Amino acid sequence: MEFPRIPLGQWIEGGLDFLTSEYSVVTRAISRVTQTGIEALNDSLMWLPEWVLMALIALLSWKVAGTRLAIGAAAGLALIWNLELWDPMIESLTLVVIATLVAVSIALPVGIAAALSERLYRTLMPVLDFMQTMPAFVYLIPAIPFFGIGSVSAIFATVIFSMPPAIRFTTLGIRQVPTELIEAADAFGSTRKQKLLKVQLPLSLPTVMAGINQTIMLALSMVVIAAMIGADGLGNEVWRAIQRLRPGDGFEAGIAVVILAMILDRLTQALRK
């Protein structure tokens, strides 16, 4: 006996068609705002001479993490410039920064709400499990009908893919605040808002920063994959090298991605400490 096949794919396609047709005005508005932000940040970074931006990043690295990271960041950026990958690196950095800001601005309130509400926590955890186990390439599929080919779709897919760690770590950090401190705050007559802002969030900040670090790393990996839907940057250089069978060019772009990832990772880890 054969059972009828569940038309899950057709239902999903129907839902996407409904959303894109009914909310096209909203998606177009989001696309225009996002594209404006991408172009503004990208043009600002491009406007700076390469040596000025290298010096600024090295100074920030020295201020936050010390001399070793400053020297490493300057040497890594100089290598990227020497490989003539400076402009693609700036484009990737722009996408990562915007996607991370959007993801964190959504994830922090959701994580706080899940930490304070047991019902929301139990509902949200399976959703996050689903989001984190879904293959990264799948997130590119709904981005195209909503925003078309280009960097805006890459931002959309990157935000969805990179958001779960920030939500998880925010929730975890707040829920791990010792009960004794919460009781002490209650004994002094603190309101719920005062407990959150003056006790729970400050104590959970290292854990929250670890979540933001993971979000940045996932955003960078997704920005590379998003070259398949027209996103600019280092991922596009890798994709072009694959299409043209140029392994040397692909490895050069991959090394630039690794350098950028290491700089961002070390900076956020130092901020966490």
Token pair recorded at residue 90: 């700036």
> How far is the C-alpha of 261 from the C-alpha of 202, rounded, in Å?
27
Say if residue 4's pLDDT is above 80. no
* Whole-number pLDDT of residue 110: 92
- What's the total number of domains in the chain? 1
Say if residue 108's pLDDT is above 80. yes
Contacts of 171 (CB under 8 A, 6+ apart): 111, 112, 114, 115, 121, 124
Burial class (CB in 10 A: 0-12, 13-18, 19+), 50: middle
> Three-class SS of residue 258?
helix
Token pair recorded at residue 130: 């689903």
123 located within any domain: yes
2 located within any domain: no
Q: Could you say which DSSP state residue 134 is in?
A: S
List pLDDT tens digits, range 210-267: 888 889 888 888 877 888 887 788 888 888 888 888 888 888 888 988 898 888 888 8
210 located within any domain: yes
Which phi and psi (to 5°) does residue 191 adopt? Answer: -80, 170
Q: What is the CATH number of the domain that holds 229?
A: 1.10.3720.10
Domain membership of residue 158 as a residue range? 19-48+83-272
List pLDDT tens digits, range 58-77: 898 888 888 888 888 899 99
178 located within any domain: yes
226 located within any domain: yes
144 located within any domain: yes
From the CA atom positions of the chain, what is the Rg in Å?
Answer: 21
User: 21 vs 47, which has greater pLDDT?
Assistant: 47
* Whole-number pLDDT of residue 202: 85
> How far is the C-alpha of 196 from the C-alpha of 202, rounded, in Å?
8
> How far is the C-alpha of 126 from the C-alpha of 99, rounded, in Å?
23
> 248 vs 236, 242, 254, 255, 259, CA distance in Å?
15, 10, 10, 11, 17
167 located within any domain: yes
43 located within any domain: yes
